[in-house]
Structure 1
Amino acid sequence: MKIRFARECDQNNIMEIWNYCFNDGPKFTDYYFNNKYKNYNTIVVEEETNIVSSLQLNQYKIKLNDKEYETSYVVGVSTLPEARGRGYMKHIMDFTLNELYKKEQLISILMPIDYRLYRKYGYEHCYDQIEYEINIEDLGGFKSSGSLIKANSDHINEMINIEKSFLENLNGRVIRDEDYYENLFKEIESEDGHIYIHKNEESDGYIIYFINGDDIFVRELYYKNMNALKGMLRFIYNHNTQCKKVNITSPLDDKIRFALSNPRTVNMKLKPFMMGRVINLKKYLESLYIEGNDKSSIIISIKDNYIKENNKIFKISLENNKLTLEDGNFDYDVEFDINTISQLAFSYINGKEAYLLNNLEENKEVIKFLNLIFVKKENYINEYV
């Protein structure tokens, strides 16, 4: 067995593994390997010169706790059936995590098929969405003074403006630029989806959706004001002769539920979406700006079975709004695994919840310090590959 980064000549073999393991149609697969796939961001397992397993590290920039970080989004983790059960996933994930550390990336994200597969590698649940299931007839009462037009690449700057306005208070989101939206148009087209812009006096909302038989799936419904939201809900209702239901995914702080005439007829559920992981704990914590000047410190023992540089006892000190970390053989105040630390670092949980989830007796001083450096926030991300 050999683990390495892919070469240009490996692409067809990696596509064969992708096609076997995932139910994507040929249009999406062509889109992905023509636009997203990069051999230098792909890791493979080679067995007797045959590639039998692979994953991709798609590159994004995310804004987490008011700072921007280059991050790898782990996708396409796949193994041919004849090579399964041999422990290749453990080896490829071990290799991947340590390569990310060498590349000086501080955090990573991953959308799991099964959370149990990735928790053992230190990834933990850090992002949720709300999913609405609505009978389209229930949207018939909305009216709007605006109109909707089919979007194209000329609307990208308007879409960036809408997205920034809609997500400005949310944590952990991807930084989207013109190249991102150029690629997004290709992705949505490859899946036979649609993008429309809502316009009133200005462009103040957009919707990305797919029609699947009797159902509409709305992937994004971003808006600057309630008029734009109501106009796009009315737009969905105008499909009532061809579709019966609509599923809409949205951030936890979305206002759709407040606009519905009868929320009791709507099925709303929390949808776990994305996992996160700290790759370099020391550099990540030292990159933060902390709202607090009181000199204080705690000592935490971290258990990380895959990145040895994190698997230490750290004295974490706060002074002049910055953290410093020193490792050593200290008597520690609390011990957490990297999963809990990742949830704290992504601001998904607070210190008290970290103690509760680990069934620990509360230490008020340690919890106070943790809550100072890990402020719980609403996280949101909506990238699929």
Structure 2
Amino acid sequence: MNVRKAKKEDIEHIKYMWQYCFNDPEGFFNYYFSKKYKEENTLVIEDKEILSSLQMNQYKICLNKKIYNTSYIVGVSTVAHARGKGFMKVLMKETLRELYNKNQLVSILMPIDYRLYRPYGYEQCYDQLEYNLDIYELREFKTAGDFQKATKQDINSLIDIYNFSMQNKNGFIVRDDEYFYNLFDEVSSENGHIYLHKTDTGFDGYIIYFILEDKILVREIFYKNIKTLKSFLKFIYNHNTQCKSVTIQCPLDDKIKNILPNIKHLKLNIKPFMMGRVINFKEFVKTLEVDNLNYTLRIKLEDNYIQENNKTFKIIIDSGKIIVNETDEKYDIKIDINSLSQLAFSYLSVYDLDALEKIQYQKQEHLNILNNLFRPKINYINEYV
């Protein structure tokens, strides 16, 4: 058995496994392998034939106001006759080593089943709001501007609206020109639509949506003010002769629920979306912004797959500067990599973990000190591959 980077001649095997495992529509499948797939970001297991593979798609993520290079793990797949033989474990172990050697500090992953990836240190770090309502509930809204089908010439406006909308978000993907060029192709591959909203002052919102038989699925809806949001809701309603219901996916702090005339029959779900993991704890801690305080904290971290993390670390905060060293001293805090990742991604607080009995500490003051390093924020991510 050999674990290695993919070669050009492996592509048909990898495509076969992907389609067998995920059964994507032809349009999206062709988009992914023409625009996103890169053999240098792909690992395979070979034993006379390609038996298992995954991709490490590259992004930049804004986490706690710092930009990190990150690998988004996708396409974890194994041929039918090789399942149950431990190939996924081998592949994930090699992947974590690859990410550590690339000096990446964090990684993300969208799970098909959370139980598959928790053993490797990935943990739930992102949720979304999902609205489900009758399209006629939107009939009272008014249009406050004009709508224009977006093209690739509008990318600067899309970036501007996205960046405005991410001002108070955490953990989001940094989107540039290349990102939006690919997004147009991705949305088109699934017969979707991107529209901009325009007023006298310029473009102030965009919507990405798909018409699925008699339902509209809104993948993104970003806006600079409530008037623009109301315009988009009217825009959705104007499809009432085609569609009877609408599903809208949003960040957790979305305002739609605050302006709907009648929420009695609204179905509002919190949808688990993405897992995260710290790859290099020592270097990640050094990037944190801390208050201008002075304290020392010893954290015993348990990590079964990255041994460089599986140690006790002495963190010294000296007037806002962070020094991190390994130590044999007794720990103040004991935590596993899953729970530590939820802290690092600002998904849960130290007090949440305490209530869940997922953190051990010697004194309450140690917990309070750790709270100075990691505080919850509004996480948002909406990338699918």
| TM-score normalized by the length of structure 2 | 0.98
Given that 2:333 and 2:360 are in contact with CA atoms closer than 8 Å, whether structure 1 keeps it comes out as: no
Specify the alignment match of 1:238 in structure 2: 238
Q: CA deviation at 1:354?
A: 2.0
The equivalences for 1:18-97 within 5 A come to 18-48=18-48, 50-97=49-96
CA distance in 2, matches of 1:214, 1:361: 51
Deviations 1:327-363 (A, max 9, x none): 1221111211100110111111111122222255763
Structure 1 counterpart of 2:208, one-letter code: I
CA distance in 2, matches of 1:322, 1:152: 46
Q: CA deviation at 1:183?
A: 0.3
Given that 2:334 and 2:359 are in contact with CA atoms closer than 8 Å, whether structure 1 keeps it comes out as: no
Given that 1:298 and 1:316 are in contact with CA atoms closer than 8 Å, whether structure 2 keeps it comes out as: yes
Deviations 1:271-290 (A, max 9, x none): 11000000000000001121
CA distance in 2, matches of 1:111, 1:323: 32
Specify the alignment match of 1:133 in structure 2: 132
Structure 1 counterpart of 2:325, one-letter code: E
Percent identity reads 52
CA distance in 2, matches of 1:327, 1:223: 46
| TM-score normalized by the length of structure 1 | 0.98
Specify the alignment match of 2:114 in structure 1: 115
Distance 1:74 1:361, change over 3 A: closer
Deviations 1:94-143 (A, max 9, x none): 00001100000000000001111100000000011100001000000000
Given that 1:132 and 1:267 are in contact with CA atoms closer than 8 Å, whether structure 2 keeps it comes out as: yes
Deviations 1:297-331 (A, max 9, x none): 11111110000000001111111213221112211
Structure 2 counterpart of 1:376, one-letter code: P
Structure 1 counterpart of 2:145, one-letter code: G
Specify the alignment match of 2:356 in structure 1: 357
**RMSD over aligned Cα, in angstroms?**
1.0
Specify the alignment match of 1:256 in structure 2: 256
CA distance in 1, matches of 2:359, 2:151: 53
How many residues in Structure 1 have an aligned counterpart in Structure 2?
A: 383
CA distance in 2, matches of 1:128, 1:184: 21
Distance 1:311 1:2, change over 3 A: same
Q: CA deviation at 1:79?
A: 0.6
CA distance in 1, matches of 2:196, 2:110: 28
Structure 2: unaligned runs, 5 residues or longer: none
Given that 1:251 and 1:380 are in contact with CA atoms closer than 8 Å, whether structure 2 keeps it comes out as: yes
Specify the alignment match of 1:306 in structure 2: 305
Distance 1:307 1:40, change over 3 A: same
- Secondary structure of the 1:269 match is strand
| Residues 1:225 and 2:225 aligned together | yes
- Secondary structure of the 1:74 match is strand
CA distance in 2, matches of 1:43, 1:299: 36
Structure 1 counterpart of 2:280, one-letter code: N
CA distance in 2, matches of 1:223, 1:305: 43
Specify the alignment match of 1:296 in structure 2: 295
- Secondary structure of the 2:368 match is helix
Q: CA deviation at 1:294?
A: 2.0
CA distance in 1, matches of 2:95, 2:122: 13
CA distance in 2, matches of 1:309, 1:346: 20
CA distance in 2, matches of 1:106, 1:360: 22
CA distance in 1, matches of 2:330, 2:352: 23
Structure 2 counterpart of 1:215, one-letter code: K
CA distance in 2, matches of 1:176, 1:200: 24
CA distance in 1, matches of 2:23, 2:266: 29
Structure 2 counterpart of 1:350, one-letter code: S
Q: CA deviation at 1:23?
A: 1.9
CA distance in 2, matches of 1:148, 1:105: 41
Q: CA deviation at 1:293?
A: 2.0
| Residues 1:182 and 2:174 aligned together | no
Specify the alignment match of 1:171 in structure 2: 170
Given that 1:288 and 1:322 are in contact with CA atoms closer than 8 Å, whether structure 2 keeps it comes out as: no
Given that 1:350 and 1:370 are in contact with CA atoms closer than 8 Å, whether structure 2 keeps it comes out as: no
Specify the alignment match of 1:383 in structure 2: 383
- Secondary structure of the 2:307 match is coil
CA distance in 1, matches of 2:241, 2:217: 16
